[in-house]
Amino acid sequence: MPNVRTASELQRNINAIYDLCESTKEPVYITRNGKESLVVMDAQALMMPLTCNDVCLSTRCGFMMR
């Protein structure tokens, strides 16, 4: 089941959503006016599935992966 939170909840409870992302390693979908508008995810969980080719491409674009 996806983690869905409202934009208001994000503003009030950013630390709780941060902890949720970090502990579950799953994306959290943020809604605004009842529609999905943003996805927040733990950075380490995002980088796990990247391949060497993805890292090489991203460094050419100026985004440094660590």
Span 23-62, pLDDT tens digits: 999 999 999 999 999 999 999 988 876 655 555 555 555 5
Which is the CATH superfamily of the domain at 3-60?
YefM-like domain (3.40.1620.10)
Classified as helix, coil or strand, 35 is strand
Span 3-27, pLDDT tens digits: 999 999 999 999 999 999 999 999 9
Task: Give the CA-trace dihedral at 7, 8, 14, 18, to 10 degrees.
Answer: -40
pLDDT value of residue 60: 53
Question: Is residue 22 within 8 Å of residue 5, measured between CB atoms?
Answer: no
pLDDT value of residue 1: 79
pLDDT value of residue 29: 96
pLDDT value of residue 61: 53
